[in-house]
Structure 1
């Protein structure tokens, strides 16, 4: 009887401590996936969105530089096609927040600018939005080889020169 009581106690103790033994493979896999997903820094991408002439085999720093340079060059070319009348001492920086989706399409989220820009250039926001629609093809940002959405902010310097 003493043996049975010890065996029952050991069996009861083992069954309470090892509930994971009876868990299905799917549940274990889901737990591992959830744990892995929580460990991923989703605010940092592995590869930046890239234009055709940017090299995907370079470092993240060079990818970012190429992406930003190409984007700023495109926006500068677009803005140079318009004549803006601004005040003589009006040098300002406009911050453009935009989203690159999983397909590489870019949309403007917000344009932070001085109120006087609206007075001198009320069409500025529309020109920026239109400029993004005319971008050359763009590959999306990647996280672990999967296309992901990514938010970016670029500064556009407007000067009276």
Structure 2
């Protein structure tokens, strides 16, 4: 009887304190994946969102430049279609914050501008939002080969002093 109690106690202690020894391969793999996910800087993408005419095999810097250039060209083309009546010369920068989701869909998050622009061009926000809806197809940003959401800020310089 004494041997059985000792064996039962040892068996209970082993089952309570050494769960890691009997952990499945899948659970161990999941723990490693979770640990790795915590070390990834999700705010820094590996590949920028790309338009069809941007080369995905170029460096990250070139990808960013192509992405920003195409986006600014699109804004410029859109803004050229409208006539704004402005009393004074303007030289200001408007900042457009937007989000590109995992499927390449783009949405405006915020538009930061001074009160003068808001007063003289009240339709500016709507024009920019509509402009983004009319963008050509966009491949999403990538992190470790996985499409991810990414936020961006683009400055738009408004200058009537030409």
Q: TM-score range by the shorter chain?
A: 0.7 to 0.9
Tell me, what secondary structure is at the counterpart of 1:109? strand
The 5 A counterparts of 1:141-156 are 141-156=141-156
Displacement of 1:141 after TM fit? 0.5
- Residue 4 of structure 1 corresponds to none
Whole-angstrom distance in 1 between the partners of 2:17 and 2:59: 47
Cα distance in 2 between the residues matched to 1:18 and 1:46 = 40
1:1-161 matches, cutoff 5 A: 19-161=19-161
Shift of residue 86 of structure 1? 2.2
Q: Structure 1-normalised TM-score?
A: 0.87
Alignment RMSD, CA only?
1.9
Q: Deviations over 1:35-75 (max 9, x none)?
A: 01001110011110000000000000000000000000010
TM-superposed deviation, 1:88: 2.3
Query: CA-to-partner distance for each residue in 1:5-42, whole Å, 9 max, x for gaps?
Result: xxx9xx89xx6986532222222111101101001110
When normalised by structure 2's length, the TM-score is: 0.86
The count of residues paired between Structure 1 and Structure 2 equals 152
Q: Which residue of 2 aligns with 1:5?
A: none
Q: Secondary structure at the match of 1:111?
A: strand
1:97, distance to aligned residue in structure 2 (A): 0.1
SS in structure 2 at match of 1:156: strand
For 1:89 and 1:29, the matched residues in 2 are separated by: 62
Please tell me whether the aligned partners of residues 87 and 160 of structure 1 are also in contact (alpha carbons under 8 angstroms): no
Secondary structure of 1:42's counterpart equals: coil
SS in structure 1 opposite 2:147?
A: strand
Classify the secondary structure of the residue corresponding to 1:122.
coil
Where does structure 1 lack aligned partners over 5 or more consecutive residues? 1-7
Q: What is the alpha-carbon distance in structure 2 between the residues aligned to residue 81 and residue 89 of structure 1?
A: 19
- For residues 73 and 136 of structure 2, the distance between their equivalents in structure 1, rounded to whole angstroms, comes to 12
